[in-house]
Amino acid sequence: MSKYMQLFQGTSFSSKSPTEIQILRDYLYCINADGMIERIVAPEDADYQSLLDTYQGSDNFHRLEEGQFFLPGFVDLHVHAPQWAQSGTALDIPLYDWLNTYTFPLESKFSDLDFAQQVYEDVVSTLLANGTTTALYFATVHKEASLRLAEICASKGQRGLVGKVVMDDPAQNPDFYRDADTPTALADTEEFIIAVQELAKTTKQGVYPVVTPRFIPSCTDEGLRGLGELAAKYDTYVQSHCSESDWAHGHVKDRFQKNDAFALHDFGLLRDKSVMAHCNFLEDSDAELFAETGTAIAHCPISNAYFANSVLPVAHLHAKDVEIGLGSDISGGFSPSLFDNIRQAVISSRMLEDGVNTALSAETRGVKDARITIHEAFYLATAGGGESLSLPIGRIQEQYAWDVQAIDTRVPSAKLPIFDEHEDLQDVFQKIMYLARPEHIREVWVQGEQVHSR
């Protein structure tokens, strides 16, 4: 009888550090019954050949073909699952108007469970097909539909972290889309947490409840305080939006005479398991509070180009030891692909460094040392996301989950421009980062189970 559940053979790319990748050429990956990488075996290791002899030819042996590579599955730290229904549209007006004109009316439709089922099935399948093996989701204010999203993640095999959104302030939210009142918002959240924790027991990959005040402007003080208490009582994840745009950042300053970060902290909402979206307007003292509390940033570079009035200074925040991962922010960001967001993270950082207004001199136009490399952006989408969630994911390394995507650079309809079969693997990696599309993602695995193939 074989010792491992699965044995994979092939070349993998994974982050060694934020700036460097590890390339394992033709290694073996030994996956145990829990879907964890129990051993990684180099071709020069003593038992490489005997392991191959044992597993080759059996159903649980998988060898990549020439031109195929393993990458860690992506960790998307910020997705509004209901907004998938408007992705690619409605990007013509600022955040406040966008929420009221398009987004709240759309999200209000998720009181209809059939509609929710249809959109949520599609967004989870689409993210898996784009290589996203773990996703941190905002659902809507509706408890039942939010639970449905968690059930769909559970059944499709995605590691979903799901929040029922809280918007309990009647003065700030439309009557057609908000919690009935603060006690109901808190009771629904508590019931939701308990239900998802029960559901989690039936899954291999895990699903997790997330305490989710939409953002400070949509919540009462009492609601925010109650949510902080629930997060502590059930030791849950927390997510929200923080200091995203001029308007959102200014709104909180006017209300509390302090920045979002400190206001959220006052309500017990900054924890090691907290992930805050955007954070473009963080000041250094806010960043230090994030580092102290273990709060992570979900950087959403495509969305930021539309709604954040700014570019996140990723390099500066990394230097301050803040954990950062990447988010698609569907549908503020139009793309379900973290490859697209990796590219935008690099592009935006370079525009921040150089500056964009040629009316200014070159010396005064930009922000020094702001650029990040493609390796750093890849780190954000994988290992950085895993660290942000404190889960053993996002790296191809022993004791990490077998959450991977198999990339085929030779798909006939979309061959990558690799003309030398001995091309340096560092260059192959960069071509994958810049040019890969969903059709290159042949297989996706989560916790040792195949969840997508094409």
Q: Which of 76, 329, 408, 443 binds ligand GUN (CB under 6 A)?
A: 329
Residues 278-317 that bind ligand GUN (CB under 6 A): 303, 307
**Complex with ligand GUN: residue 260 or 353, whichever CB lies closer:** 260
Q: Give the contact letters, 247-286, x = binds to Fe ion (CB under 5 A), - = no.
A: ------------------------------x---------
* 244: partner contacted, choices ligand GUN, Fe ion, none (Cβ within 5-8 A by kind): ligand GUN
Rule CB under 5 A: say whether 329 interacts with Fe ion.
yes
**Complex with Fe ion: residue 35 or 332, whichever CB lies closer:** 332
Q: Which of 7, 31, 37, 99 binds ligand GUN (CB under 6 A)?
A: 99
Letter for the amino acid at 355? G
Contacts of 116 (CB under 8 A, 6+ apart): 82, 110, 140, 142, 145, 148, 149
Rule CB under 6 A: say whether 214 interacts with ligand GUN.
yes
**Complex with ligand GUN: residue 334 or 445, whichever CB lies closer:** 334
Q: Give the contact letters, 54-83, x = binds to ligand GUN (CB under 6 A), - = no.
A: --------------------------x---
Return the axis-axis angle of helices 143-156 and 113-129, rounded to nearest 10°: 40
Cβ-closest residue to Fe ion?
329
Q: Yes or no: say if 225 and 267 are a contact pair by the CB < 8 Å rule.
A: yes
* 214: partner contacted, choices Fe ion, ligand GUN, none (Cβ within 5-8 A by kind): ligand GUN
Q: How far is the CB of 348 from Fe ion (least distance, A)?
A: 17
The region of 95-103, 180-188, 262-270, 313-321 touching ligand GUN under the rule CB under 6 A is 95-103
* 440: partner contacted, choices Fe ion, ligand GUN, none (Cβ within 5-8 A by kind): none
* 408: partner contacted, choices ligand GUN, Fe ion, none (Cβ within 5-8 A by kind): none
The region of 174-182, 254-262, 325-333, 344-352 touching Fe ion under the rule CB under 5 A is 325-333
Q: Give the contact letters, 369-408, x = binds to ligand GUN (CB under 6 A), - = no.
A: ----------------------------------------
**Residue closest to 40 by CA, chosen among 67, 60, 18, 14:** 14
Cβ-closest residue to ligand GUN?
332
Q: Which of 332, 336, 366, 385 binds ligand GUN (CB under 6 A)?
A: 332
Rule CB under 6 A: say whether 343 interacts with ligand GUN.
no
* 343: partner contacted, choices Fe ion, ligand GUN, none (Cβ within 5-8 A by kind): none
* 366: partner contacted, choices ligand GUN, Fe ion, none (Cβ within 5-8 A by kind): none
Q: CA 290, 292, 293, 294 torsion: positive or negative?
A: positive
Q: How far is the CB of 72 from ligand GUN (least distance, A)?
A: 26
Query: How many residues bind ligand GUN, per CB under 6 A?
Result: 12
- Please state the three-class secondary structure of the chain as a single string: CCCCCEEEEEEEEEEEECCEEEEEEEEEEEECCCCEEEEEECCCCCCHHHHHHHHCCCCCEEECCCCEEEEECEEEEEEEHHHHHHCCCCCCCCHHHHHHHHHHHHHHHHHCHHHHHHHHHHHHHHHHHCCEEEEEEECCCCHHHHHHHHHHHHHHCCEEEEECEECCCCCCCCCCCCCCCHHHHHHHHHHHHHHHHHHHCCCCCCEEEEEEECEHHHCCHHHHHHHHHHHHHHCCEEEEEECCCHHHHHHHHHHHCCCHHHHHHHCCCCCCCEEEEECCCCCHHHHHHHHHHCCEEEECHHHHHHHCCCCCCHHHHHHCCCEEEECCCCCCCCCCCHHHHHHHHHHHHHHHHHCCCCCCCHHHHCCCCCCCCHHHHHHHHHHHHHHHHCCCCCCCCCCCECCEEEEECCCHHHCCCCCCCCCCHHHHHHHHHHHCCHHHEEEEEECCEEEEEC
* 445: partner contacted, choices ligand GUN, Fe ion, none (Cβ within 5-8 A by kind): none
Residues 226-265 that bind ligand GUN (CB under 6 A): 241, 244
Binding site for Fe ion (CB under 5 A): 277, 329
Binding site for ligand GUN (CB under 6 A): 80, 95, 99, 103, 214-215, 241, 244, 303, 307, 329, 332
